[in-house]
C-alpha cells in the first residue's frame, strides 16, 4: 500500500462489520488517526467517509487493528468510467486496424496473384516459393489473428466454443491443407494440389476490419447514456463558513448551501432558499419549456439554470439524485432483454458446435460424392462453412436495439424499466387513462362566477375565500388561489362548520354564510330556483357548480373545474390513430366524466370509480384478452398500474416517482405516452429486422457455403467471400440498431 | 473412404461429447465470494458452487478489451452489469434458492454457471 495523503474526503468499504455497535468502534478508531476529521459511517452500505488529511494506509491499519478490514473505495464517477471505456475502445479499435492492415497487406496481393495465375503446386521451385509464402502467412496469423487462436484455445480448454473457435478452425484448416500440399504433393492427385494461403490472411483481415467498425458503432449505441452522464457537473460552488468555494462534486454533503449562476448546471438536487430563475430540465424530462423556480421549489442535478442566480440547500447528493437514479435505471434497462430475443439466445447457445458438426458433414459429403478433386472441394466447403457462420449477428440482434431504443426513450423523458416492458408496450390494445392529473391538469380552478341578487363578484369571492380558507377540501384550494390572484384580503371567520358531503357554513362580520352544493341550500331553505338552469349548463361543461348564500339568500354560483391539459386532445388522437382503444376512468360524477370524455374524444369512460375498482377494471379487460396499459399518477393508482400489463406513471417534471411503474413519463403531457408507444414499436420492429436478417443470413449462408447449390448451379463460395460476409453481417445488425437513434417519436 | 467416414463420425461424436455432454468441474466457494477473470473468451472459473440462501458477491476481473466481454448478464435474476477493465467490478446477488443460475455475455459466447446448494 502506498502512502497517500489527501486533503479531501476519503471513502472506504468496511468488511466484517455486522452489527450496529461496530459503527461506533470503527468511527472511534478512525477518529483517533492523526488528521482524520468528521468520520461518518454508513452502516447500511458498509462504507465510511473520513475527512481531513489522514494517511490512507494508517486509516486502513486502524480499522484492521480492531478486527475489521477496510478497502479504499474508488471515487470514480460514471464520467471517469466512460472516459476509461472510450480509451479502451479506442485502443482496441487501433489494435484491430493494425491487425487488419497487416493481414490484408499480405492477403490481398496473394489473392490478386491467385486471380491472375494459378495457385497450384507443380514444380519444385513452386514448392519452395509456396513454402515461404506459407511461413509468412503463419506469421501474419500469429500476429494479426493472435486473439482468435488464443480465445479459441482458452474456450476449448473450458469446453466452450465461440466465434474465435470458428475463425481459428476455418483459417487453420485452409492453412494446414495448403501446407500439406506444399510438403507432400505426391499424396494428392494432381488437380488437388492447390494452396489457400490467401484465404487465411484475407479472412483474418476482413474479420478484424468488421470488428473494428463494430467497436465504433457499438460506442454510438450508448450515446444516450453518455449524454445523461455528461449532464453531471464536476464541481459545485458551495458556501461554507460564509465563504464561497468551488469544490469537487463528490465532496458536497447534504444541507450544503449551493450557488448556481445563470448558464451553469445545477450540481445536486436541492430546495431553493434564495433567488428566482428559469431552469431548463428538458434533458431530464423531455419538456421543452423552461420551468420557473423560486424559494421553496425543488431543483434537480443536471438541469441548466437559465436566467437568475439561485441559492439552494442540497437535499440529495451523489447516487441519490434524480439524475443518478435515471442513469441507473436506464443502464439497467439497456442490459435487459425482452423475451422476443429468447429464441435467438437458445440458438446462439448451441450454435458453434452445431456449425462444427455441419462443417464435418459437409466435408464428408464432398469426399464421398463430390467431383475430383474432392479433397480440395471438401477443404473449401469446410473452411467456408466455419467462416460464414455468424453467431454474433444472432446474439447482437436484440441487445443492440434495446440499448438504442431505451436510450432514445430516455432522451424524451420516458424511462422504460426493462426490455420486457418495451416489448409489451408495443402490443397494448387497450389503454386505460385516469382522468384527474392525466388527461386533466389535476388542480381544480375557478372557471365561472355567476352573481345573483345584485351582489358584486369581488365581494362574493372575498367572503367565499375567507370561509374556504378554513376548509381542507381540494376545491377550497381552487377558491383561495383565485382570491389570492385577485389580490383579495381575507376576513376572519367565526362559527366555522364543515357539513360532510354538503359544504361549509360560518359567519363573517355578522353575516351567516353558506357555501356548498344544492343539498346544503335545501337544508337551510335557500331558494335556488333562479339558478338551476345555469347550474345545469355548467355541470354539462364538466364544471362543478357550487352555491353561495349570505343570510339565507343566494348570492352566486361559483364553478370549479379541472381544466383539460392543452395537448391532451391531440395526444389522444395520436393514440387512437395507433389503433389503441382508450378508456377513461374517474371518480367524478357521470355528467362531468361525460363532458370531459366528449371534449377529448374518448367514447369509453367509466365514472364514479372507487380506487379499488380501477384494479378490477384492468383485470376485467385483461380477462377479455386485451393487453392493457394503465396510465396514472403513480401514487394513487399504484395497484392498477401494477395489475396492468404495462403501468405508465405520468408526472410533471422531476417530481414523479421513478420506481413506481414499468414506464415513467417525466413529462406531464399525454404525448409522452404516445411517444413511449411509438419508441417501443420502433424498437421492437428494429429487433425483428435484426433477428430476421441474422436468421436468414445463417440459415441461407451455411448451406450455400456447404455447397448445396453446387449440384444445380455449380456455385461454391470462396472462403474469402465468406469472411467478408461474416464481418458484414454483425456490422449490419449494429448499424441497423443505430438507425433507431434518428427515430423521432413525435413524428409518428 | 470408409476410414475417412468413420473418422468423420468419430469427430462429430467428439464435438458432441466435448462441448455438450462433458460436465465441467465445479469450483467450490467457501464464503460465497468469488473473483472471476474475464479473458480470452471465457470466465475463469466458469462453474461455481455457492451456498444457497446466502448473498453471493462476485468480482469480475476483466482483462479482455473485446467489446464482447463488456457486459455480464444473469438472465434468471434479471441482473446485468457493464464491466470496466480491471478488477473493480462487483456484482452482488441476493440470497439464491437452490438451483442453477447461468451468467453470460450479451452474445452468450462467454458462459458460466452458478450452482446454489
Residue A598 at interface with chain B, using a CB cutoff of 8 Å? no
A74 contact B CB<8A: yes
CB–CB of A155 and B71 under 8 A?
Answer: no
Block residue for cell numbers 506469421: A139
Average pLDDT over residues A735-743: 92
Distance from CA of B78 to the nearest CA of A (A): 7
- pLDDT at residue A656 in the model: 60
State the Cα–Cα distance between residues A233 and A380, nearest whole angstrom: 57
Q: Do A85 and B84 touch (CB under 8 A)?
A: yes
Distance CA B58, CA B94 (A): 11
Question: Does residue A72 surpass a pLDDT of 80?
Answer: no
The residue among A15, A145, A151, A404 with the most chain B CBs within 10 A of its CB, best to mutate, is A151
**Whole-number pLDDT of residue A47:** 73
Contact A396 B106 (CB under 8 A): yes
Query: Given a cut of 80, is residue A473 above it in pLDDT?
Result: no
C-alpha distances out from residue A731 to A95, A217, A373, A394, B37, Å: 18, 8, 35, 12, 28
- A313 or B110, greater pLDDT: A313
How deeply is A2 buried, as exposed, middle or buried, from its count of CB atoms within 10 A (0-12, 13-18, 19+)?
exposed
CB contact under 8 A, B108 and A85: no
Which residues in chain A are contacts of B1 at CB distance < 8 A? 367-368
The CA-based angle A259-A265-A266, given to 5 degrees, is 55
Res. A75: pLDDT tops 60: no
Residues of A in contact with B44 (CB under 8 A): 158
Contacts of B25 in chain A (CB under 8 A): none
User: Mean of the pLDDT values across residues A398-408?
Assistant: 91
Mean pLDDT of A392-419: 88
* pLDDT exceeds cutoff 90 at A144: yes
Average pLDDT over residues A564-568: 90
> Given the DSSP bridges, would you call strands A235-240 and A544-550 parallel, antiparallel or unpaired?
unpaired
Q: CB distance A154–B65 less than 8 Å?
A: no
Q: Does A164 touch chain B (CB under 8 A)?
A: yes
Please, which contacts does A579-583 make with residues 24 or more away whose CB atoms are closer than 8 Å?
A579/A429, A580/A428, A580/A429, A580/A430, A580/A431, A580/A629, A580/A677, A581/A429, A581/A430, A581/A431, A581/A626, A582/A430, A582/A431, A582/A432, A582/A433, A583/A430, A583/A431, A583/A432, A583/A433, A583/A617, A583/A621
pLDDT of residue A44: 56
**With an 8 Å Cβ cutoff, is A214 touching chain B?**
yes
Q: Is A118 a catalytic residue?
A: no
pLDDT value for A657: 62
Q: A 374-393 residues with CB below 8 A of B?
A: 391-392
- Asked if the Cβ–Cβ distance from B42 to A160 is below 8 Å, we say yes
pLDDT at A158: 78
Confidence of residue A703 (pLDDT cuts 50, 70, 90): very high
pLDDT band at A5 (very low <50, low <70, confident <90, very high): very low
| Catalytic site residue from A434, A637, A645, A675 | A434
Residue A336: predicted pLDDT: 75
Closest-CA distance, A318 to chain B, in angstroms, reads 19
The residue whose grid cell reads 468528521 is A38
Rg (alpha carbons) of chain B, rounded to whole number? 17
More confident site: B109 or A283: A283
Whether A63 has a pLDDT exceeding 50, the answer reads yes
Average pLDDT of span A628-636? 83
C-alpha cell at A412: 424524451
Collapsed DSSP state (helix, strand, coil) of residue A651: coil
Minimum CA–CA partner of A166 in chain B: B109
A69, A7 contact by CB (below 8 A):
no
The whole-number pLDDT of residue A655 equals 60
pLDDT digits (tens, 9 = 90+) for A440-449: 887 888 888 9
pLDDT at res. A619? 94
- CB–CB contact B39 A154 (8 Å): yes
- Find, in chain A, the residue whose alpha carbon is nearest to that of B78: A336
| CA proximity to A681, closest of A450, A401, A447 | A401
B88 vs A contacts (CB less than 8 Å): 74, 76
Tell me what the mean pLDDT of segment A231-242 comes to. Answer: 89
Neighbours of A693 (CB within 10 A): 17
Cα distance between residue A508 and residue A492, in whole Å: 6
**What is the distance in angstroms between the Cα of A572 and the nearest Cα belonging to chain B?**
34
Burial A528-542 (b: 16+ CB within 10 A, else e): eeebeeebeebbebb
Asked if the model's pLDDT at residue A6 lies above 60, the reply is no
Residue A566, pLDDT above cutoff 80: yes
- pTM of the entire structure? 0.79
Choice among A233-237, A255-259, A633-637, B38-42 with the minimum mean pLDDT = A633-637
HSE-up of B59 (CA within 13 Å, CB side)?
8
On the question of pLDDT at A13 being above 90, the answer is: no
Tens digit of each residue's pLDDT (9 = 90 or more) over B61-88 = 988 877 778 888 888 887 778 888 887 7
Length of chain A: 748
CB contact under 8 A, B41 and A418: no
If you ran DSSP here, which 8-state letter would residue A55 be given?
B
Distances (CA, A) of A22 to A9, A30, A439, B54: 21, 12, 53, 22
Q: Give the model's confidence band at A1: pLDDT under 50 very low, under 70 low, under 90 confident, else very high.
A: very low
Q: Are strands A47-52 and A36-42 parallel, antiparallel or unpaired?
A: antiparallel
With beta carbons less than 8 A apart as the criterion, state whether A144 and A171 touch: no
Interface of A with B in 392-411 (CB under 8 A): 392, 394-396, 399
Q: Which residue of A has its CA nearest to B3?
A: A364
What does the pLDDT read at residue A606?
Answer: 92
Q: Provide the β-strand partners of residue A88.
A: none
Residue A186 DSSP SS3 = helix
Any CB–CB contact under 8 A between A353 and chain B?
A: yes
Cβ distance A337 to B75 less than 8 Å, yes or no, reads: yes
Nearest-CA distance A98 → chain B (Å): 15
Percent of chain A with pLDDT over 70: 95
A429: alpha, beta or left? (left if phi > 0; alpha if psi -120 to 50): alpha
Distance of alpha carbon B62 from alpha carbon A678, whole angstroms: 37
Residue A4: predicted pLDDT: 41
3-class DSSP assignment, residue B65 = coil
Chain A contact probe: residue of B57, B108, B111 with most A CBs at under 10 A:
B108
- A95 pLDDT more than 90: yes
**8 A C-beta contact, residue A41 and residue A57:** no
CB contact under 8 A, A92 and B65: yes
Measured in angstroms, the CA of B117 and the nearest CA of chain A are apart by: 23
Maximum alpha-carbon separation in chain A: 126
For chains A and B, count residue pairs whose Cβ atoms are closer than 8 Å. 114
Range A208-227 average pLDDT: 86
Going by their DSSP bridges, the two strands A581-585 and A553-561 should be labelled as: unpaired
- Distance in angstroms (rounded) separating the CA atoms of residues A172 and A141: 9
Query: What is the Cα–Cα distance from A617 to A583, expressed in whole angstroms?
Result: 10
Question: Is A364 an 8 Å CB contact of chain B?
Answer: yes
Query: Distance between CA B56 and CA B54 in Å, rounded?
Result: 6
Grid coordinates given for A214 = 463494430
Indicate whether A637 pLDDT > 90: no
Does this complex have an ipTM over 0.90? no
Task: Answer for the pair A656, A664: CB distance below 8 angstroms, yes or no.
Answer: yes
* Distance of residue A366 Cα from the nearest chain B Cα, in angstroms: 11
Q: For chain B, how are helix, strand and coil distributed in percent, rounded to 5?
A: 25, 45, 35
pLDDT per position as a tens digit, A509-534: 888 999 988 888 888 888 888 888 88
Are A302 and A269 spatial neighbours (Cβ–Cβ below 8 Å)? Answer: no
pLDDT at res. A146: 92
**pLDDT: which is higher, A261 or A56:** A261
Among A218, A256, A252, which residue's Cα sits nearest to residue A232? A252
Instruction: Please calculate the CA angle A408-A412-A416 and round it to the nearest 5 degrees.
Output: 65
**Contacts for A113-117: CB closer than 8 Å, 24+ residues apart:** A113/A198, A114/A198
For residue A324, name the pLDDT band (cuts at 50, 70, 90): confident
For the segment A445-468, the average pLDDT, to the nearest whole number, is 88
Round to whole Å and give the CA distance between A114 and A130: 12
Asked, as a colleague might, if the bond just before A238 is cis with ω within 30 of 0, I would say no
Please give the pLDDT value at position A19: 62
CB contact under 8 A, A353 and B20: yes
Phi then psi dihedrals of residue A638, to 5 deg? -50, -45
Lowest model confidence (mean pLDDT) among A108-117, A122-131, A655-664, B34-43? A655-664
Least Cα distance to A524 among A543, A497, A545 occurs for A497
Q: Which of A16, A160, A363 to mutate to test the interface with B (most CBs of B within 10 A)?
A: A160
Q: Which of B90, B79, B37 is nearest to A76 (CA)?
A: B90
CB contact under 8 A, A395 and B41: no
Residue A719 burial by Cβ neighbours in a 10 Å radius (0-12, 13-18, 19+): buried
- Lowest-pLDDT range, A107-116, A161-170, B19-28? B19-28
Best B4, B67, B83 member to test A by mutation, with max A CBs in 10 Å, is B67
Instruction: Sort out which chain A residues have CB atoms less than 8 A from B110's CB and list them.
Output: 162
**Residue A635: band (very low, low, confident or very high) from pLDDT cuts 50, 70, 90:** low
Whole-angstrom Cα distance, residue A270 to residue A295?
11
In this structure, the strands spanning A604-606 and A445-451 are unpaired
The rounded mean pLDDT for chain A is: 86
Q: Would you call A142 helix, strand, or coil by DSSP?
A: helix
For A644-654, b/e burial (b = at least 16 CB within 10 A) is bbbbbbbbbbb
Q: How near does any CA of chain B get to the CA of A148, in Å? A: 8
Contact A88 B85 (CB under 8 A): yes
* Sequence-ordered alpha helix ranges (H) in A601-744: 611-623, 638-643, 671-706, 710-713, 719-739
- Is residue A154 predicted with pLDDT exceeding 50? yes
Q: How many CA atoms lie within 13 A of A593 on its CB side?
A: 18
State CA A621 to chain mean position distance. 29
Contacts of B113 in chain A (CB under 8 A): none
Position A579 pLDDT exceeds 90: yes
A159 touches B at CB < 8 Å: yes
- Whether B107 and A391 lie within 8 Å, measured CB to CB: yes
Amino acid at each position: 500500500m502506498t502512502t497517500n495523503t489527501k486533503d479531501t474526503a476519503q471513502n472506504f468499504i468496511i468488511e466484517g462489520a455486522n452489527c450496529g455497535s461496530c459503527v461506533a468502534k470503527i468511527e472511534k478508531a478512525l477518529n483517533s488517526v492523526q488528521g482524520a476529521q468528521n468520520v461518518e459511517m454508513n452502516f447500511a452500505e458498509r462504507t465510511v467517509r473520513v475527512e481531513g488529511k489522514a494517511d490512507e494506509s494508517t486509516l486502513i491499519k486502524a480499522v484492521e487493528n480492531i478486527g475489521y478490514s477496510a478497502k479504499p473505495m474508488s471515487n470514480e464517477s460514471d464520467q471517469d468510467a466512460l472516459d476509461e471505456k472510450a480509451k479502451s475502445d479506442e485502443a482496441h479499435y487501433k489494435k484491430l486496424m493494425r491487425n487488419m492492415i497487416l493481414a490484408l497487406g499480405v492477403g490481398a496481393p496473394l489473392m490478386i496473384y491467385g486471380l491472375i495465375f494459378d495457385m497450384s503446386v507443380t514444380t519444385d521451385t513452386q514448392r519452395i516459393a509456396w513454402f515461404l509464402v506459407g511461413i509468412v502467412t503463419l506469421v501474419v496469423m500469429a500476429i494479426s489473428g493472435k486473439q482468435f487462436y488464443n480465445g479459441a484455445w482458452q474456450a476449448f480448454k473450458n469446453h466452450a466454443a465461440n466465434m474465435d473457435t470458428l475463425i481459428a478452425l476455418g483459417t487453420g484448416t485452409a492453412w494446414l491443407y495448403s501446407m500439406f500440399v506444399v510438403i507432400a504433393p505426391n499424396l494428392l492427385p494432381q488437380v488437388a494440389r492447390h494452396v489457400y494461403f490467401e484465404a487465411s490472411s484475407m479472412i483474418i483481415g476482413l474479420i478484424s476490419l468488421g470488428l473494428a467498425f463494430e467497436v465504433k458503432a457499438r460506442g454510438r449505441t450508448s450515446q444516450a447514456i453518455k449524454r445523461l452522464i455528461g449532464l453531471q457537473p464536476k464541481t459545485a460552488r458551495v458556501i461554507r463558513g460564509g465563504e464561497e468555494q468551488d469544490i469537487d462534486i463528490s465532496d458536497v454533503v447534504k444541507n450544503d448551501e449551493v450557488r448556481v449562476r445563470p448558464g451553469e448546471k445545477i450540481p445536486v438536487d436541492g430546495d431553493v432558499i434564495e433567488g428566482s430563475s428559469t431552469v431548463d430540465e428538458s434533458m431530464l424530462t423531455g419538456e421543452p419549456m423552461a420551468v420557473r423556480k423560486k424559494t421553496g421549489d425543488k431543483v434537480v442535478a443536471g438541469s441548466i439554470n437559465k436566467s437568475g442566480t439561485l441559492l439552494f440547500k442540497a437535499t440529495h447528493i451523489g447516487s441519490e439524485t434524480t439524475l443518478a437514479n435515471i442513469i441507473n435505471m436506464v443502464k439497467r434497462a439497456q442490459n435487459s432483454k425482452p423475451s422476443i430475443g429468447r429464441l435467438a439466445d437458445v440458438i446462439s447457445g448451441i450454435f458453434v458446435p452445431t456449425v462444427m458438426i455441419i462443417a464435418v458433414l459437409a466435408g464428408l459429403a464432398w469426399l464421398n460424392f463430390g467431383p475430383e478433386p474432392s479433397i480440395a472441394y471438401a477443404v473449401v466447403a469446410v473452411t467456408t462453412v466455419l467462416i460464414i457462420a455468424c453467431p454474433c449477428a444472432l446474439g447482437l440482434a436484440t441487445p443492440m436495439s434495446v440499448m438504442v431504443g431505451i436510450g432514445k426513450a430516455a432522451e424524451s423523458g420516458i424511462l422504460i424499466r426493462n426490455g420486457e416492458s418495451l416489448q409489451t408496450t408495443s402490443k397494448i390494445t387497450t389503454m386505460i387513462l385516469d382522468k384527474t392529473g392525466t388527461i386533466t391538469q389535476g388542480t381544480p380552478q375557478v372557471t365561472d362566477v355567476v352573481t345573483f341578487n345584485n351582489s358584486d363578484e369581488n365581494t362574493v369571492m372575498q367572503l367565499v375565500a375567507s370561509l374556504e380558507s378554513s376548509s381542507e377540501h381540494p376545491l377550497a384550494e381552487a377558491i383561495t388561489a383565485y382570491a389570492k390572484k385577485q389580490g383579495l384580503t381575507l376576513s376572519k371567520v367565526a362559527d366555522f362548520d364543515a357539513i360532510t358531503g354538503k359544504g361549509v357554513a360560518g359567519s363573517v362580520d355578522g353575516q351567516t354564510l353558506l357555501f356548498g352544493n344544492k343539498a346544503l341550500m335545501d337544508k337551510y331553505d335557500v331558494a335556488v330556483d333562479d339558478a338551476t338552469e345555469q347550474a345545469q349548463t355548467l355541470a354539462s361543461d364538466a364544471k362543478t357548480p357550487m352555491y353561495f348564500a349570505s343570510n339565507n339568500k343566494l348570492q352566486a354560483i361559483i364553478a370549479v373545474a379541472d381544466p383539460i391539459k392543452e395537448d391532451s386532445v391531440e395526444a389522444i388522437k395520436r393514440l387512437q390513430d395507433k389503433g389503441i382503444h382508450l378508456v377513461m376512468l374517474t371518480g367524478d360524477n357521470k355528467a362531468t366524466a361525460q363532458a370531459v370524455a366528449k371534449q377529448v374524444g374518448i367514447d369509453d369512460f367509466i365514472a364514479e370509480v372507487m380506487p379499488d375498482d380501477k384494479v378490477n377494471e384492468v383485470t376485467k379487460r385483461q380477462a377479455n384478452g386485451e393487453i392493457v396499459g394503465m396510465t396514472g399518477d403513480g401514487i394513487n393508482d399504484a395497484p392498477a398500474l401494477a395489475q396492468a400489463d404495462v403501468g405508465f406513471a405520468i408526472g410533471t417534471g422531476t417530481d414523479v416517482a421513478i420506481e413506481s411503474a414499468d414506464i415513467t413519463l417525466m413529462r406531464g403531457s399525454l404525448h409522452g405516452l404516445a411517444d413511449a408507444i411509438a419508441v417501443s414499436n420502433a424498437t421492437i420492429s428494429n429487433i425483428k429486422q435484426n433477428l430476421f436478417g441474422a436468421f436468414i443470413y445463417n440459415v441461407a449462408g451455411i448451406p450455400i457455403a456447404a455447397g448445396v447449390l453446387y449440384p444445380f448451379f455449380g456455385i461454391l463460395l470462396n472462403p474469402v467471400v465468406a469472411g467478408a460476409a461474416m464481418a458484414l453481417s454483425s456490422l449490419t445488425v449494429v448499424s441497423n440498431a443505430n438507425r433507431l437513434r434518428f427515430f423521432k417519436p413525435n413524428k409518428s | 473412404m470408409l476410414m475417412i467416414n468413420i473418422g468423420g463420425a468419430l469427430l462429430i461424436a467428439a464435438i458432441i461429447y466435448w462441448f455438450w455432454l462433458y460436465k465441467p468441474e465445479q469450483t467450490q466457494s467457501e464464503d460465497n465470494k468469488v473473483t472471476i477473470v474475464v479473458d480470452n473468451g471465457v470466465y475463469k472459473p466458469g462453474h461455481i458452487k455457492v451456498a444457497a440462501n446466502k448473498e453471493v458477491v462476485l468480482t469480475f476481473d476483466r482483462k479482455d478489451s473485446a467489446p464482447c466481454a463488456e457486459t455480464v448478464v444473469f438472465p434468471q435474476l434479471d441482473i446485468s452489469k457493464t464491466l470496466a477493465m480491471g478488477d473493480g467490478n462487483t456484482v452482488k446477488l441476493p440470497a439464491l434458492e437452490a438451483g442453477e443460475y447461468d451468467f453470460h455475455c450479451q452474445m452468450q459466447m462467454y458462459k458460466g454457471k452458478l450452482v446454489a446448494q
